[in-house]
Structure formats: structure tokens, C-alpha cells
Amino acid sequence: MPTVKELMHAGRKDELWQMCCGFLDLNIEQFMSIQKRLLLEQIELLNRSVIGRKIFGTTIPQDVEEFRKRAPLTTYQNYCPELSEKREDALPAKPILWQHTSGRSNEFPFKWESIKWMPVTAAMCSEFGKIGGATSLLASCKRRGDASALKKGAKFIYAVAPRPYTSGTYAFVATEELDGVSLPTLEQAEKMEFEDRIAISFKQALSKGFDYYFGITVALVTIGERMGDQMSSVKFKTLLSQPSALFRVVRGLIKSKLAKRKLLPKDLWDIKGIMGSGTDATIFGQLIKDTWGKYPLNVYGSTEAGIVGVQTWDFGTMSFYPSLDFFEFIPEPEYLKWQSDNSYNLKTVLLDEVKAGEKYELVITNFHGGPLIRYRTGDILKISSLRNDKLNINTPQMEFDGRIDDVLDIGGFIRLTEKVIWQAISNTGVPCVEWTARREARGKGHVLHLYMELKDSCTSDVKQIAVKVYEELKKMDEGFMYGDIESILNTMPVEVSTLPKGAFANYMSMRRAQGADLAHLKPKHINISEKEIGILQGAAPEKIKVEKVSIGAPVAR
């Protein structure tokens, strides 16, 4: 079978689209057939492995239904020490490389025991190449089957954490499979700090241009805000030795003058696609489109699962990718029962059993020799519809809703995710550098306490901002009584405190000095610790009193 690179070089565009994006033509029966076939192949591999016998016990499942009945739901602890010590002889298939998560910790100084190592097999890499081709095509195409934008030598801005972090692994595989050019080169990029890498990549892009951006989408917002002022005041003498860059800047300034506005990145580059992941890609989508000329294509995945789903050329909901994991889903009422009683026996449904409008925790079983069996990801997905009517995609559509452990429960009535809070802040129009939030006790109840670093242009006081956020949350009310909680709890449920200028930049500098990588630099948006709040407020770490905030279990609506 030809590779993505071979089809691209041969100009076989129809075959290239089918290889990378053919999953969008599947109906739900065809999708489930692929899922079950690959699961049976995976069970055979697991049966011969130490990890498989460890999870299955003495009774090996023979079919999909027996697999779901006999195999327990697992967490990463079930695979230690085999994965944490990278014991390749225990795996279902030999890996060609290892990658790991960014890790999570609520205490300071930060400990990285929670980093999760995951093996990547050759078959997985082949799938990474296909999905890399799919994301590049879907970010740049105008219609189904349009593979005209993806060509040999496409230039990619490298804006992710380096290998062995998962995003760096994907970037490496995709660049190799698509015969792309990284700005700066992969070898250079992986040795640089993130800020230096971004600065050099866009400096090179002034002369060389670029086609695709892959990485942290919120960085594009900051770059777009600063670029106009920086380019408008550039000294042209410094560009005389770079005629391509000089021409690009002059042309961009002319475009912006004719449009009677400040210079924007879209005046400098006519890029083909932007690929990113996370809540910021959704929140800042329109702003990025207005600034850069393209909507960011949102890709959802993880270290444990690989790529789970991706948006299509309508930049709306995401379609599931069938060939990396077997999907099961824990309905919201089920995992809420489990949170109240961890002995509760959770039930799952398959993709052909999910319901539109419902939320589920994703459970995955790796294909292609991966080690994870019925693994609880902790990620909450919302099934927005059972098909994409606009594009005639006949499989369920989903949105990433948040993490089980990144939910704020207020008064037993409200369950706020990072996405909801971020959207509410964005809707207020309050100029904010960054924010973090947590639940805090007030009287007999709790409030949402936002800690925000504001831009100099902000003229509102904290009470006005709190009211604006509260009003936006009420507008976004999905039926969980946010509009009634003020009268129920007899308190204003939102508070805002401002952080000193440079609070987040100073925090990141401190973390970098401690040797933290890109993925660990910023504090979490949800459930931040008392120590981290103190650091953002300017207190010395050793003088901060440690007081854990009890988040509590979310209550079913």
C-alpha cells in the first residue's frame, strides 16, 4: 500500500483524500465494523502479552461482548510498573518510540510523578501519518475531496512541546510523512525555549513564508495583537539584506493602509491552514480568523488515545477517527453516581448507542499493539448530534467538554467547566491577559472566584467584571439553574480579584528557572492550589500557608 508521501508526490489527489479522510464517508454501521474488527485483532495481541494477562486474568475474552463484560475499566495505575519503567517485553507489540504526557500536579514545588509514559508502535505511527494528512487537508480544503493545498515541501511553524511530549511526536511524524519543512528545523526547534522558537520561526517566515501552523492556538492571538505595532515601526534598513522579507512587509503595510486598519498577520501571509487543540481553539476561533485569515482546525486527542476526533472544513463539531482506539462511553449519570460511590459498577455504551445532547466520559482500548484496555481517560465529551447534516457525515458529532477533575461545583446546582468559564470571560469583552479560577467558601455556600490579570486598557472595576461574567454565565445557562442560584444561596456567586501586572509571565519565568518544560509552565485554569494563587499574587513560595480547597464531588442535576 502506498504511503501518504508517495500519493502526494505522485499527484494522486483522490487516493490521498481517500486514505486520509475516507473515514468521513463511513456510516455508523461501517464505523462500528472497523472498530470491532480492529478490537478483535488487538485482543489477539493482548492475549500473548504480560499486560493482557495482567488485566484479563486467566479467562481470555473471545469476542467484543465478552471483552466488555470481563475486562475491567482501568486507569494508568493498572499498567505500572510496566509502562512507568518502559518494560517493552510486557507489551502486546514492540514500540519504535516512547512518548509521555505533560503530567499533572496540584502541589508546589511541582512533582512529575504523574507523567505517563506511552509506547508508540510502527502501526500507530502509520496511523499518525494518515491523521496528520487528514488534519492538513481538512484545515485547508474548501470542500469534500479537495486535496489541492497539500504539496511537497509545505512549511510548518513548530509551536508545540518537543519530543518525547505527545504533541512533539505528532509534529515529527506528520512532518516526515508529509515531506514538510519545519520552521525552525526540528533539530533546532527541540533545543529552544518556546518563546525563542516562536520568535525565530516567524522571523524565518518573513523571508520564506509558511503554509501551516501547528500548535498552541492562543499564541496566535498574542502574536496577532503585537505584530501590527512591531511591523508598523520596523526599520526598513534592517531588512535590506532580506529582500523577500522587505517585500512581504511593504506589501502587508500597503494592504493594511488600503483597508484603513493596523497591519494584521493575514496581510503578511496567505496561509493554508491552522491546526491546534484545546478549548482556546474554540473560544478564539473567530478572532484568529479575523487576524490570520483562517479558522483554526480543532483536533482532539491525548497521549493515551492518540487522535480521537477532528473538525472538518465547516470548522464546527468533530468527527471520530475510527482506527486508533476502540471507543466506549460512560454516560454522565453513571460517572456522577461513581463519583459519589467509587464501588459503583459503571456501565458503558458504544458509539452507535450514544444520544445527541448527552455527555459521556470517554473510555478507550488501544489498537495496533497499544497497551491500554478499557482505559478511563477522564475526558468528558458532548455528543452534539448523531450526524453532520450540513456536510452529510453519517457518524455522531462531538465536542470536548472538559475533564472530570476540572469541574467546579457551586452549591450543588452548577457544574462549571474550563470551556464555559473561558467563553463567559471572552463574551464580556473585558481585556484580560490570563485568568485562573477555583471554588471558595463564602458564608454557608461557595462562589466562583476568578483571579484575572487585566490589560492596561481595562477600565472596569472588579465588581463590574464579576457582574458581567455572571450575566454571561446566565445567558449560557443550559438548564442547571445558574440564574436562580443567587436567590437560593443568598450571595453573588461570582467574585473577581485582580492580579498584578506580569503575574503570569513571572510565574512562567519562575517555572522555567526550575527546569519545567513548556507543558508545565502555566498554572491550570481550574482548581488552582492556594500556593499557586500566592505565587501569582506575588508572595514568596516558602511563606505561603498551605490550605487545600475542598472541591467536592459534583452533584447530579
pLDDT digits (tens, 9 = 90+) for 246-284: 999 899 999 999 999 989 999 999 999 999 887 777 788
Contact, 51 vs 42, CB < 8 A? no
Provide the sign of the torsion angle of the four alpha carbons 56, 57, 63, 64, taken in this order. negative
Q: Does position 109 have pLDDT exceeding 50, yes or no?
A: no
Min mean pLDDT across 16-30, 133-147, 160-174 is at: 160-174
Q: Does position 438 have pLDDT exceeding 60, yes or no?
A: yes
The cell numbers describing 457, all together, are 486598557
pTM of the model: 0.82
Contact, 351 vs 55, CB < 8 A? no
pLDDT digits (tens, 9 = 90+) for 200-257: 999 899 999 999 998 878 788 888 877 766 665 666 666 767 889 899 989 999 999 9
47, 52, 63, 66 from 58: Cα distances, Å:
10, 10, 16, 14
d(CA 247, CA 257): 15
Q: What pLDDT shows up at residue 269?
A: 95
Task: Please report, rounded to a whole number, the percentage of residues in the chain having pLDDT higher than 70.
Answer: 87
End-to-end alpha carbon distance in the chain = 51
The cell numbers describing 269, all together, are 501571509
Average pLDDT over every residue of 281-293: 89
In this prediction, residue 409 has a pLDDT band, given cuts at 50, 70 and 90, of low
Element (H, E) at 436: strand 432-442
Average pLDDT over every residue of 464-483: 75
User: How many angstroms from the chain centroid is the CA of residue 295?
Assistant: 16
Average pLDDT, the chain: 86
Q: What is the 3-state secondary structure (H, E, C) of 116-143?
A: CEEEECHHHHHHHHHHHHHHHHHHHCCC
Instruction: List, in order of start, the domains of the chain with CATH numbers.
Output: 4-93+303-403 (no CATH), 407-543 (3.30.300)
Q: If you search the block for the grid coordinates 505561603, which residue do you land on?
A: 544
Contact, 224 vs 292, CB < 8 A? yes
The cell numbers describing 455, all together, are 490589560
Q: If you search the block for the grid coordinates 474548501, which residue do you land on?
A: 142
